[in-house]
Amino acid sequence: MPSLCVVGMQWGDEGKGKLIDYLAAQADVVARYAGGANAGHTVVVNGQKTVLHLLPSGILHKDCLCVVGNGVVVDPGEILEEIALVESHGATVGENLLISDRAQVVMPYHKVLDKVAEAAKGAGKLGTTLRGIGPCYADKASRTGIRMVDLVRPDAFRARLEETLPFVNRLLEQVYGHEALAFDAILAEYTGYGDRLRRFVGDSVTALHRAFGAGKKVLFEGAQGSMLDIDFGTYPFLTSSNASVCGVPAGTGVPPRLVGSVLGVVKAYTTRVGAGPFPTEIHGELGDRIRENGGEFGATTGRPRRCGWLDAVALRYALAINGTDHLAITKLDVLDDQPTLKVCTAYRHGDRVYDTFPSDLAVLGDCEPQYEELAGWQRDITGAQGIEDLPAPALAYLNRIEELLGVPIGIVSVGNERRQTILVESDGLFR
Ligand code: GDP
Ligand code: IMO
Ligand code: MG
């Protein structure tokens, strides 16, 4: 029953989509367990780029069953658009897609609430993706959400909407001064989505249990990053789900003991989109340069990503939470032109030195990262096919990362293409 969870160790956009697509060639099932259309997972195959938000990143492999787990919040219009997109890229979407009947539906009012709540926060806004994620998970926790099982049954959907919309409209009108949303328009639009999605919706929990029972290889797809996890991230500057591996059991119905192994995806530097503390952020020209080299513009919103050096303090924390077995170091090539590289090994705040990740935003916002410097390689590594093709300073950088983090590297990525992937540890990623 081999399985592997691929999960981001930073603030998202580590290159999870690329790696899941790469590893899906060896998998029978790819199951997404959390988040929604806030994710943007980029897959590039032979120059053709596909950005996925809700469909699991195994969708380009025709024999792979892609499961959208119960922990995901599904925007029905968005997933239908994505199905059309991947079909236009040559994929077939049919029995290879299973959307959990227990997954929550992102309703139009969730997106409106996301927008008006952000606007109301003014300068204190989180910089969400405005995909309705927070309000949808809030409804789930309040037990006022609508699930896929309701969406695909017109009578049930009408009944749920009749219950929820009056309250939402009062909130919109009386708290936010926003106009009420029209019942009939939502009913018609979403009933139409339900009709089109019905064939994909089913019991994902049983399907996953059967897959494990049949000895299939299962890949769990993380979205966002561990530092955006609702419990462990930089609260409140984070998303509303358990993005770390902790989200797998709750978001799929697969018990923890069946999560065989964890691959922690680590970008060779750090990025973050939206507001919140970022100790190793690089301001000015150097940060701009890394952003340009790495194409660090949001795959979902197009926003420029904030860029910074690798942060071993935050990473050790993320690795511990996830019980990470192997690292996948991505975007190493983006550092090709740097004469020197920095890695943060501790934070100094006043008299205190932190080598573990503090919860206090005041400390995180105001600490001084303690850096160690390493030599750059100043060579193009995008053609490297094996670890032996990498220049000595690049190997030294990777070795130092392994030493500082105490976790072995399983994969190194040197470009956005599926083939620009170096498998360091060929056995034992799935366990
Ligand atoms: P995800 O959210 O973790 O799936 O990552 P995104 O797709 O949002 O962002 C990663 C970006 O980097 C995408 O544009 C990828 O195509 C690109 N990418 C992934 N791995 C590499 C790599 O090793 N080198 C380079 N240069 N780009 C990469
Ligand atoms: P992937 O899967 C990077 C960030 C947003 C914002 C915060 C809350 O592509 O790595 P939300 O819309 O979730 O309420 O926004 O979380 N965020 C991401 N940042 N990558 C993502 O996903 C993200 N998903 C959410 O920018 O700061
Ligand atoms: Mg992304």
In a domain, 65, yes or no: yes
Domain shared by 138 and 34, yes or no? no
For the cut 80, the answer to whether the pLDDT of residue 426 exceeds it is no
* Residues measured by CB to lie within 5 Å of ligand 3, the ion: 13, 40, 299
- The range of the structural domain enclosing residue 179 comes to 104-197
How far, in Å, is the centroid of ligand 2 from the Cα of 327? Answer: 21
CA distance 235 to 238: 6
SS3 content of the chain, % helix, strand, coil (to 5): 40, 20, 40
In a domain, 16, yes or no: yes
CA distance 120 to 129: 15
Domain shared by 84 and 206, yes or no? yes
Ligand 2 proximity of 267 Cβ (cutoff 6 Å) = no
CA distance 182 to 176: 17
Of 42, 10, 6, 8, the residue nearest 271 (C-alpha): 10
Six-digit token pair at 225? 């990053």
- Angle in degrees, 0-180, between the axes of helices 183-197 and 76-88, rounded to the nearest 10: 40
Domain shared by 151 and 253, yes or no? no
Strand positions, DSSP E, 33-143: 41-45, 48-52, 65-68, 73-74, 97-100, 104-105
3-state secondary structure of 160: helix
Ligand 2 proximity of 37 Cβ (cutoff 6 Å) = no
Domain shared by 40 and 110, yes or no? no
**Is-catalytic flag, 13?**
yes
| Mean pLDDT computed over every residue of the chain | 97
Task: State residue 198's pLDDT score.
Answer: 98
Task: State residue 44's pLDDT score.
Answer: 98
Residue 380's domain is classified under what CATH number? 3.90.170.10
CA distance 390 to 399: 12
Bridge partners (DSSP) listed for residue 349: 352
For the cut 80, the answer to whether the pLDDT of residue 380 exceeds it is yes
Domain shared by 153 and 237, yes or no? no
CB-based contacts of 56: which residues, under 8 Å, 6+ apart?
A: 20, 30, 31, 32, 66, 67, 68, 221
Domain shared by 248 and 280, yes or no? no
Phi, psi angles (nearest 5°) of residue 286: -65, -45
Ligand 1 proximity of 211 Cβ (cutoff 6 Å) = no
How far, in Å, is the centroid of ligand 2 from the Cα of 236? Answer: 12
Residue 123's domain is classified under what CATH number? 1.10.300.10
Ligand 1 proximity of 102 Cβ (cutoff 6 Å) = no
For the cut 90, the answer to whether the pLDDT of residue 370 exceeds it is yes
pLDDT per position as a tens digit, 227-243: 999 999 999 999 999 99
For the cut 90, the answer to whether the pLDDT of residue 427 exceeds it is no
CA distance 110 to 108: 5
Ligand 1 proximity of 410 Cβ (cutoff 6 Å) = no
Domain shared by 153 and 247, yes or no? no
C-alpha to C-alpha distances, 89 to 17, 50, 59, 149, nearest whole angstrom = 16, 8, 11, 29
pLDDT per position as a tens digit, 260-299: 999 999 999 999 999 999 999 999 999 999 999 999 998 8
Structural contact between residues 212 and 258, judged by C-beta atoms closer than 8 angstroms: yes
Ligand 2: which of 232, 239, 242, 270 to mutate, judged by most atoms within 8 Å of the beta carbon?
239
In a domain, 154, yes or no: yes
CA distance 39 to 395: 31
Domain shared by 158 and 28, yes or no? no
pLDDT per position as a tens digit, 199-256: 999 999 999 999 999 999 999 999 999 999 999 999 999 999 999 999 999 999 999 9
Domain shared by 410 and 285, yes or no? yes
Task: State residue 390's pLDDT score.
Answer: 98
Percent of the chain with pLDDT over 90: 98
pLDDT band at 102 (very low <50, low <70, confident <90, very high): very high
3-state secondary structure of 340: strand
**Half-sphere exposure (Cβ direction) of 351: Cα atoms closer than 13 Å:** 0
Residue 92's domain is classified under what CATH number? 3.40.440.10
Ligand 2 proximity of 38 Cβ (cutoff 6 Å) = yes
Specify the DSSP class assigned to residue 417: B
Which ligand neighbours the alpha carbon of 239 most closely? 2
Among 258, 277, 301, give the residue marking a domain's end.
258
Domain shared by 208 and 352, yes or no? no
Task: State residue 22's pLDDT score.
Answer: 98
Ligand 1 proximity of 16 Cβ (cutoff 6 Å) = yes
CA distance 347 to 354: 5
In a domain, 430, yes or no: no
pLDDT band at 1 (very low <50, low <70, confident <90, very high): confident
**Is-catalytic flag, 349?**
no
- Domain count along the chain: 3
Among 212, 242, 258, give the residue marking a domain's end.
258
Name the catalytic one among 21, 41, 61, 229. Answer: 41
Q: Is 119 exposed, middle or buried (0-12, 13-18, 19+ CB in 10 A)?
A: exposed
In a domain, 334, yes or no: yes
Among 164, 197, 230, give the residue marking a domain's end.
197
Ligand 1: which of 20, 22, 42 to mutate, judged by most atoms within 8 Å of the beta carbon?
42
3-state secondary structure of 423: strand
pLDDT per position as a tens digit, 289-324: 999 999 999 888 889 999 999 999 999 999 999 999
Encode burial over 401-430: b for 16+ CB neighbours within 10 A, e otherwise.
beebbebebbbbbbbbbbebbbebeeeebb
Which ligand neighbours the alpha carbon of 301 most closely? 2
CB-based contacts of 400: which residues, under 8 Å, 6+ apart?
A: 343, 372, 374
In a domain, 431, yes or no: no
Instruction: Give me the residue label for tokens 């926790």.
Output: 141
Atom of ligand 2 nearest to the CA of 134: 14
Six-digit token pair at 242? 């358990």
Task: State residue 301's pLDDT score.
Answer: 86
In a domain, 428, yes or no: no
Domain shared by 277 and 415, yes or no? yes
CB-based contacts of 325: which residues, under 8 Å, 6+ apart?
A: 261, 262, 263, 407, 410, 429, 431
In a domain, 354, yes or no: yes
For the cut 80, the answer to whether the pLDDT of residue 75 exceeds it is yes
Domain shared by 340 and 375, yes or no? yes
Read off the pTM: 0.98
pLDDT band at 50 (very low <50, low <70, confident <90, very high): very high
Of 409, 286, 403, 279, the residue nearest 346 (C-alpha): 279
345-354 contacts, C-beta under 8 A, 24 or more apart:
345/312, 345/313, 345/370, 345/371, 345/372, 345/404, 346/313, 346/370, 347/279, 347/313, 354/313
Phi, psi angles (nearest 5°) of residue 3: -145, 160
3-state secondary structure of 63: coil
pLDDT per position as a tens digit, 348-361: 999 999 999 999 99
